[in-house]
A and B are shown apart, each in its own frame.
Chain A
Amino acid sequence: MTRISVTVDGAEAVDEVEPRTLLVQYLREQRGRTGTPVGCDTSNCGACTVLVDGRAVKSCALLAVQADGAEVTTIQGLANGELHPVQKAFHERHALQCGYCTPGMIMAAVDLLNEVPDPDERQVREGLEGNLCRCTGYQNIVAAVRDAAAELRGAS
Chain B
Amino acid sequence: MTATRDREVGTARRRKEDAHLITGQTTWTDNIQLPGTVHAALLRSPMAHARIRVDASPARHEPGVVAAYSGADLADELAGLPSAWQVTPDWVAPEHKPLATDEARYVGDAIAVVVADTRAHAVDALDAIEVEYEPLPVVLDMEQAMADGAPLVHQDAGTNVCFRYSDTFGDVDAAFADAPVRVRRRFVQQRLVPCAMEPRAVLVAPVPATGEYTVWSATQIPHFVRLFLALLSGVPESRIRVIAPDVGGGFGSKLDIYAEELLAFVLAGKLGRPVKWTETRSEAFQATIHGRDQIQDLELAADADGRIRGLRVDLLADMGAYLQLLTPAIPLLGRAMFPGIYKMDAYRFGCTGVFTDKTPTDAYRGAGRPEATFAIERMLDELAAELSVDPLEMRRRNWIGHDEFPYDQIAGLTYDSGNYEAATARATELFDYDGMRAEQARRRETQDPVQLGIGISTYTEMCGLAPSRWLGDRGYAGGGWEAATVRILPTGKVEAVVGTSPHGQGHVTTFSQLVADTLGVPFDDVEVIHGDTAAAPAGLDTYGSRSLAVGGVAVWRAAQRVLGKAKTLAAHLLEVSEDDLEFSGGSFAVRGTPGATKSIQEVAFAAFAAHSMPDGFEPTLSADFVLEPDDFSFPHGTHLCAAEVDTETGRVTIRSYVAVDDVGTVVNPMIVEGQVHGGLAQGIAQALHEVARYDADGNLITGTMVDYTPPSAVDLPAFTLDRTETPSTTNPLGVKGVGEAGTIASTPAVVNAVVDALRPFGVRDVPMPCTPEHVWRALSEARGGA
Residues of A within 8 A of B (CB): 18, 20, 28-29, 33-42, 44-45, 47, 74-76, 78-79, 83, 87, 90-92, 94, 96-103, 106, 121, 124-126, 128-142
Contact = CB atoms under 8 A, between A and B. Distances in A.
A137 B681 contact: yes
A149 B506 CA distance: 26
Nearest to A45: B705
A102 B281 contact: no
Contacts of A90: 18, 22
Residue with the greatest number of chain B CB neighbours at <10 A, chosen from A98, A129, A136:
A98
Chain A: interface secondary structure? loop
B198 A132 contact: no
List the 10 closest pairs (A to B, CB-CB), nearest first.
A35-B24, A100-B248, A99-B21, A98-B504, A137-B677, A75-B24, A97-B504, A137-B681, A40-B281, A34-B31
B24 A101 contact: no
B88 interface: no
B270 to A, nearest CB: 25
Interface residues of B, number: 55
Nearest to A121: B718
Contacts, number: 172
B712 A76 contact: no
Interface in B21-35: 21-26, 28, 30-31, 33
A79 B26 contact: no
A119 B506 CA distance: 29
Interface in B639-682: 670-671, 673-675, 677-682
Given A40-B281, A87-B22, A141 B28 contact: no
Given A76-B25, A100-B249, A133 B18 contact: no
Contact of B678 (A18, A34, A38, A97): A97
Contacts of A124: 713
Contact of B22 (A20, A99, A129): A99
B385 interface: no
B17 interface: yes
B26 A35 contact: yes
A79 B23 CA distance: 7
B387 interface: no
Contacts of A34: 24, 26, 28, 30-31
B25 A94 contact: no
8 contacts: A18-B120, A28-B31, A87-B23, A91-B22, A94-B14, A100-B249, A131-B713, A134-B682
A40 B199 CA distance: 8
Contacts of A33: 24
A52 B372 CA distance: 48
B28 A92 contact: no
Contacts of B120: 18, 20
Interface in B479-532: 503-506
Contacts of B705: 40, 42, 44-45, 132
A140 B677 contact: yes
B710 interface: yes
A133 B713 CA distance: 8
A39 B281 contact: yes
Given A42-B704, A91-B18, A137-B719, A35 B197 contact: no
Contacts of A125: 712-714
B704 A44 contact: yes
Contacts of B706: 42, 44
Contacts of A135: 197, 249, 504, 674, 678
A45 B248 CA distance: 13
A144 B475 CA distance: 46
